Structure 1
Amino acid sequence: MNTAADSTTGSSQRQIDQWFANYSGDHRNATNQLIHVICVPAILWSVIALLWCIPAPGTLFRAGFWAGLAMLASVLFYYKASRALGLGMAAVYVVMGLATRWIHDSYGTTTLLWLGVGVFVVAWVGQFIGHSKLFEGKRPSFFTDLRYLLIGPAWVLAKLYRKLGWSY
């Protein structure tokens, strides 16, 4: 698949840097960036929560199986793009997974499901407000390439890394 991320810069630049450059181009407004720093992790957690609610197959697996499988697959994607981001996202997933497990074990699947749906909807509304003519005035990046749904969380983490003076 040929995307803007594949062809915007020279071949000496890492693909993750190309994705971040394109993603950043759709996120120049400071308010939209702030909205993303809040809403992207919220959406990420809500997807984990929703996947957690899907029953695990058979008796060998526990609640959270599908969420764990998705987290593992995405960590491999991030790790291939950048070891530092892959390890950072693994740490993020551990925290989100533990929080999700606590909510599930404390309040049950139904509560986790409705909480996940609520956070998902509210956070996506926030995202679209950030991209509206009020702030950014550009379509979300994932309309160009669905991989940007995975790039968003890494972009937020990379912003934190830069703030801390860490390389990715």
Structure 2
Amino acid sequence: MSAPRTIDTLLAKYRESHLNPTNEIIHFVCVPVIVFTLLGLLWSVHALLALAVVLAALAYYARLSRPFALGMLLMSALMLGLLAALPPATVLPLSLTIFVLAWIGQFIGHKIEGKKPSFLEDLRFLLIGPLFVLSFLYRRLRLAY
């Protein structure tokens, strides 16, 4: 019997603090929003900074799972495209406001769950959160990851 893949171990560990259905729904909304607004905050410094962070995250995702890396590439491309389409003066205030609100939502979800956020134990879980959300879509579409 082979050892579980790193991605499977990370997702299982992340799932331990995301079992409450209400918390899951909050995460399905807030995690992608946080990714988008984080990219928006970086974009407001410089578009190349946002792109560099996406490329670094994609390199990490590719080591964990090529199908997840592809999904995150598509999601990131959509987000960066939307940021490019927004009026530049709106990116920072919009991103900052929604970033804060989405994190408040996350902490409310964890209050409901009764467990602290996973990233407080291991910062890698900040990168695993989006894959946790994506894993639900992949399973629904019967896509292997």
Instruction: Bin the TM-score by the shorter chain.
Output: over 0.9
Pairwise CA distance, 1:143:
0.3
Return the match for 1:128 from 83, 107, 130: 107
Distance 1:34 1:98 in 2: 26
| Poorly superposed stretches of 4+, deviation over 4 Å | none
2:132 — aligned with what?
155
1:53 and 2:36 equivalent?
no
1:93 — aligned with what?
76
2:19 — aligned with what?
28
* Percent identity of paired positions between Structure 1 and Structure 2: 43
RMSD over aligned Cα atoms: 1.1
Which string of whole-angstrom CA distances, capped at 9 and with x for unpartnered residues, describes residues 45-90 of structure 1? 00000000114xxxxxxxx100000000101101110000001100
2:50 maps to a residue whose letter is A
Larger RCO (CA within 8 A; separation ≥ 6): 2
Distance 1:52 1:154 in 2: 22
2:143 maps to a residue whose letter is W
Distance 1:83 1:158 in 2: 13
Which string of whole-angstrom CA distances, capped at 9 and with x for unpartnered residues, describes residues 71-122 of structure 1? 001011011100000011001001001001101xxx22x3100000011001
The residue matched to 1:166 in structure 2 has which SS?
coil
Q: Which runs of 5+ in 1 are unaligned?
A: 1-9, 56-63
1:33 maps to a residue whose letter is E
Q: How many correspondences in the alignment?
A: 145
Return the match for 2:8 from 17, 24, 28: 17
Pairwise CA distance, 1:37:
0.3
1:80 — aligned with what?
63
2:90 maps to a residue whose letter is T
Distance 1:82 1:68 in 2: 20
Return the match for 1:65 from 48, 69, 75: 48
1:102 maps to a residue whose letter is A
Return the match for 1:42 from 26, 33, 39: 33
Q: Which runs of 5+ in 2 are unaligned?
A: none
Larger helix share, 1 or 2? 2
Distance 2:48 2:90 in 1: 18
The residue matched to 1:53 in structure 2 has which SS?
helix
1:61 — aligned with what?
none
What is the TM-score normalised by the length of structure 2? Answer: 0.97
Larger radius of gyration: 1
